Amino acid sequence: MNQTFLAFDLGAESGRGVLAEFDGQKLTLSEAGRFPTTGDAKEPGPDGVWRWDYREIVSQIRGILKAAEADHKLSGVAVDTWGVDFGLIDAAGELIEDPACYRDASHGAAMDETLGRMSGEDLWAETGIQLMPFNTLFQVRAIQKRSPDVLAKAARLLFMPDLLASALVGNPAGASELTIASTSQMLDPRTQTWNTRLLDRLGLPYHFLQPIVKPGATYGTTPGGTVVRATGGHDTASAVAAVPAIDGKTWAYISSGTWSLLGIESETPVLGLDAYKMGLSNEIGVRGATRLLKNIMGLWLVQECRRSLARAGREYDYATLTMLAAGAPPDGPVVDATHHRFLAPADMPTELRAACIETGQTPPSGDAELIRCCLDSLALAYRRTLHAIEGVVGTKFEVLHIVGGGTKNLLLNQLAADACGIPVVAGPGEATAVGNVLTQMVGSGAVASWEEARQVCRNSFDPETFLPNAATRSEWLAREESFARATAN
């Protein structure tokens, strides 16, 4: 008997509901609805903080759910989102304030203050997480500084997937899903429990932290009778769950979208000092294994350039921007696509050009060259990160899987293959929604194991392979060496 699952997959630009019909062998997907998520996060609110328009997001997902329940007998529903962000719930079960957006500028100062109390090396040793200003740990510090009364009133901290699942059930969850909790920099990666020892040392409260549950756990049911489950609440965890990897080949992955998350699966955390120096993170996957990865800015660079060009009266869709970039010179400038300066600049093209000048390069002169700079910079970041991970774990990877919405950018897929020098297998493009559904299927017993779930993924989608162009091998090596010299000065 066929089963139908509903996955809500929310990113920084948009959210959507995806229906997945499972016939016992493969999945068939259809979109149930789509909506913008940016809301108030486009600019600071009256209190100077960038916030998500939480109520509008809830309204949208409830509307899509209600329509889906009217047309289908759903076997389950689950929500995944970006990492680190959260809402605080008071003792009466009410949201105290809209969740702050991870791009809010106040988090940088909070990180600086925290690192004044504890070295980056020590913080890494306790959490195994890349030091990024938006990590939940620093967001809590920022609230402590600006609104200590808010933390005092908080009875529960719920990450965005837990918070939105609560809205579908109708009462606040009393749990934090494991994969999303692992993005917080408040978890001990060895025990996969809250690191209260660390929080005590930093003078941060934690009375509001909730018990951690594994993907597949049940939150409750909707008013319409659908079971609400925890999935890989962090969208990258869900995306990696849908990698159609085949046993016998060593592989790395990129979850490609607004962010590019490049990493590997490891059965244990990788906590050596060399991994810290490379800026790697030990997050947790849906099976409980470690996702050793690095955060790279991703197609956010292109998205913000597109927004800036539109403000200047030059409107492009993404396909046109990619076409323009393909025609630009292939040896243009590149920037460090892992640098915090590109997190929320006032104007992305201005920031990109400034970074080029600072490293002695001629900045991009036109729109085509600007977008090519973004894509080449991402490809170079992929190359450098892949080689860094290979050095840390002592493994040479044979294939790079790219999953997620960024797989639609065929030029970037080919640049990734050329830069990394190994085949790129791109797809599924709907990996996050697929991983969300696969986790529901494992949790509900619709499939017996994760091995069976990944076979379902392979049955359902036909990824595209991009082979590296051997003629560009020496060119990418030269670009990497030149960039390393420029950024070392």
Give the residue numbers marked as catalytic: 235
- In this structure, the number of other CB atoms found within 10 A of the CB of residue 262 comes to 31
Both tokens assigned to 201: 């040392």
- Contact present, 52 and 101 (Cβ < 8 Å): yes
Both tokens assigned to 359: 């490293």
